[in-house]
Structures are given as structure tokens and as C-alpha cells.
Amino acid sequence: MDERIDDYFGQRLTGAEKAQFEADLKSDPQLADAVAFYLASREASMQYAREKKLLERHAEWQALPKKATNMAWLNAWYAVAAAVALVAFGIGWYFLNTPPKDMQQLAAGYVMENFTRLRQELGDSGDTLQRAKDSYNNGQYATALKRCESVLSSDPQNAEAKRIAGIVSLHLLDYDKAIDYFHRLGAQKELYANPGKFYEAIALIQRNQPGDKKKAESLLQEVIDQDLEGKNEAVKWMK
Amino acid sequence: MTLFSKTFSDSELIEGIRGTHAQRRVFENKLYEKYSYMIREAVWKHKLSEDECSMVYSDTILTVLEHIHNGRFKGNSSIKTYLYQIFTNKCVDVLRKNATNKQQVILGDSLDAYLCILPDDSKGIIETLIAQYDMDLLTTRLKELGEKCRQIVQAWGEGFMDQEIAIEMGYQSAAVVKTSRLRCLEKLRGLYGREGKEG
């Protein structure tokens, strides 16, 4: 194994050595393959270590007593309280015969259905965004985000880059970033179809900080009033 | 069920998980139990098997525990929301994995960080080459390495520095660890062989 590979990723090469290594990498397929093997091995060993830990903990958690055994703790007082609660629930159900809406679940369902895989579309501007979508679909989220950011650094108005960057950030649970991307997307007036406000509402619902639900509802109302993308879902969610 | 057993608040759970070793284990298990109902929900919602969902849930708990310990969980949302998002994402990853014929290298954050060191014009090529490696086979070959080699490569994969590995495993110096580690990687490469790569 070429020691330079380890030194390169350990960032221990001098400027000149680094430049030489990168030049060699372009012209030498064997070196490129060795680098790929080095990185794949690192990932495999990391996954192996974690998998071992996961199997140990999974076995431990499977052996935990099931919650149903807690019924043994039931005493008369709790039984009365449970009965009263049941009656109250029944009355409430009778008068408010509508299930409570859980926007969190609705939003999670939408994300699941629509953001699991990003569709490749004709006319994606350049290779970079297409590759960003590939990276996302392969689970390479940091790479996908970097690609979108590189497009946005040269083309700050690129709506698709903002959309993908927002979706990736959402997947990485970086809600602040996702909200920022979607907010900037939603502010673009020149687009024929703009899901920015709807997506921003989703990110707010998922972040779930105090005040987020209200902001999300206000955005969903805007989506409905202005007939923006996501209107069908917004109408259902606001019912 | 909250009527019948004590339910810990988020802050109690986090404090317990960050506590002493003995206490930590108890609270980690409490966290597992508290949201384990998500397994049944996921079976119905994602049409995955109960075994798959159960393993994904354990994986999620492990991830959340790691995030609580390393400070990545900042408490901006409740543990339930945070956990639910990770659980959903991991279910999506399983669906993706099930949809492909062969396990691909799903690049984790750490590998992504390494790829970002590479110049843009080489990154794509290296990514393509990495994707040709069969991770299952690579892991199998890793298990076949001798005990010492496996431990050293595993520790490296977990992110330990050569200096730390030297102390932990009784090597003379970090330099010796580096030489041994690179030799072990070469051995792994030999074991993996060319048949492991797609044509």
C-alpha cells in the first residue's frame, strides 16, 4: 500500500508532495484503485465495528421485558382513573368526531413518499446537480450538499440547487439549514412552479420548535391562497 | 402506559445517559423502551418486516445515543421528534438497500469527509471505483484477517489515531502501528482479490 495515500488523507504531505500525488492520481489508474480500496476498507472496518456493537445492544434490548408486564402494577386507583378517562374520551369522540390531525406524521409521510429518491429530470442544469441527486440517492448526503453549494456559489439563483440542498439538509436533520434553503427558494418570484413555501412548512413542522407550528400553518395558508405547489397537501393538512 | 410506570422526561433521560457508566446503561434501556412502539408503526407504514424494523430501531437508538454523547443532539427538538426522523431515514435506507440487488457502499459522513479532500476532477472517479467494491465481501475478508490485523484495521476504521492504537494494543510507537496497519491493508487487499470487483 502506497504510504502516500495514508499521508495524503492524514494531511501530512507538504504542498509540493500533495500536488504531485494529485497529479499522479489523475494519470495512474492503479493508484486511483488503491485509493478507492483504502477508503472502502476504512468504511468497511467502521461499519464492521459499529455492526458488532449494534448486534450486542440489539440482543440486550430484545431481552428487555416487554411493556405489557407493567399491567401487573395496575391497582384499583389506576383502574378507576382509566375508566373515567375512557368515558371522557368516548364523550369527546362523540362530539368531535374528527381524528386529531398530526402534522408531524403527515409531513413525515410526505417526506417519505417524495424525498426517498430524487428523480433525475431532463434539463438538469449541468452535471453537478445530476451528480448531487445521484449522491443523495446513494446515501452520500454530505457530498450531495457540497455539490449543491458549489452550484449555488457560482449561480445563487439556481432554484433546483436550493431545493436539493434543502431536501438533503432535511434528511441530515439540519432543519435550520433546510428552512434557510427553502425560504430562499420560496422568495424567488420568477419560477413557474415553486415548492419553496410548502417545503419550508414541512421543515418547520419537523423542527417543531416553539412557534414553528404557527409559522408552518401560515405558510400552508399562503400556499393555498396563492395556489402554489403543494396546495393539495396543504388543503388536506389544514382541515 | 404512562399510568403504570414512571416515564422519564427528555432532560432526565439525557442526564442519565450522560451519567456514570452503570446509570448510563439503565437510561439507555429506558430510552429504547420508551419509543419502541415505533417498530410496529414502521412495519405497517413502510411495509418492512418486524425483524427489519426492530433492527432499524436499535440502530436508531444507538445513533441517538452517539449523538447525545458527542453533542450532536443539541436539544432543538424533542428526543421523540429527533428519534422519529432518524428512524424514518434509516427505514428509507433499508428500502433503498432492498431495492438494489447488491449492497452498495453507502458512504457515511466520515467517508464523505475524506472524499471532499480530493480534487473535484478525481472525486467522481474515486467514488465510482469505491462503488465497485462489494462491502459484504470486504467485511467478510476483514473478519478473515488475523486477530491482530483485524483489531488494528478496526481501530483505524473507528477513527483512533495511531498513537492511541499503540498505547491500547501495546505497540512500540505510532510509526510501528502505521507500518503494521498499511501491511494489514495490503493483506486485506490480497484476500479480497480481484473477483470481488465488478467487471
Q: What is the CATH number of domain A103-238?
A: 1.25.40.10
What does the alpha-carbon distance between residue B103 and residue A81 come to, in Å, rounded to a whole number?
Answer: 52
Residue-wise pLDDT for B82-110, tens only, equals 899 899 888 888 887 777 654 555 555 66
Q: Which residues in chain B have Cβ-Cβ distances shorter than 8 Å to A64? A: 29, 32-33
Does the pLDDT value for residue B197 go beyond 60?
no
State which CATH number among 2.40.128, 1.10.1740, 1.10.3470, 3.40.50 fits the domain covering B10-99. Answer: 1.10.1740
Q: Outline where chain A has alpha helix (H).
A: 3-9, 15-27, 29-62, 76-95, 103-115, 126-137, 141-154, 159-171, 175-186, 196-207, 212-225, 231-238
Confidence of residue A142 (pLDDT cuts 50, 70, 90): confident
Q: Dump pLDDT digits (tens) for A53-83.
A: 899 999 999 988 765 544 444 555 566 676 7
A202 touches chain B (CB under 8 A): no
Out of B108, B118, B132, closest to residue A46 by CB: B108
In this complex, which of A33, A64, A73 lies closest to B4 when CB atoms are compared? A73
Our CA-based measurement puts residue B130 at a distance from the nearest CA of chain A, in whole angstroms, of 5
Which of B128, B182, B184, B157 shows the shortest CA–CA distance to A33?
B128
Mean pLDDT of A119-133: 72
A73 contact residues in B (CB cutoff 8 A):
4-5
Widest pairwise Cα distance in chain A: 79
Q: Do B107 and A146 touch (CB under 8 A)?
A: no
pLDDT value at residue A59: 92
| Lookup: cell for B3 | 399510568
pLDDT for A90: 64
| Closest of A142, A129, A36, A130 to residue B108, by C-alpha | A142
Contact check, Cβ <8 Å, B157/A3: no
The pTM assigned to this predicted structure is 0.60
- The question of ipTM being above 0.85 is answered as no
Listed residue (B42, B170, B131, B10) closest to A208, CA to CA: B10
- Tell me the three state secondary structure of residue B183: helix
Residue B100 carries which side chain, given as an amino acid letter? T
Element (H, E) at B115: helix B109-115
A21 near B CB under 8 A: no
Q: Give the model's pLDDT for residue A76.
A: 58
Chain B CB contacts of A173 below 8 Å:
82, 85-86, 89
Mean pLDDT of all residues in chain A?
A: 83
- Inspect the interface and report whether the beta carbons of A44 and B135 lie closer than 8 Å: yes
Q: Cβ of B122 and A22 within 8 Å?
A: yes
Q: What per-residue confidence (pLDDT) applies to A224?
A: 93
What does the pLDDT look like over B2-29, one tens digit per residue?
A: 445 567 888 899 999 998 877 888 899 9
Where are the domains positioned within chain A? 3-61, 103-238
**Best residue in B115, B134, B163, B176 for a mutation probing chain A (most A CBs within 10 Å):** B115
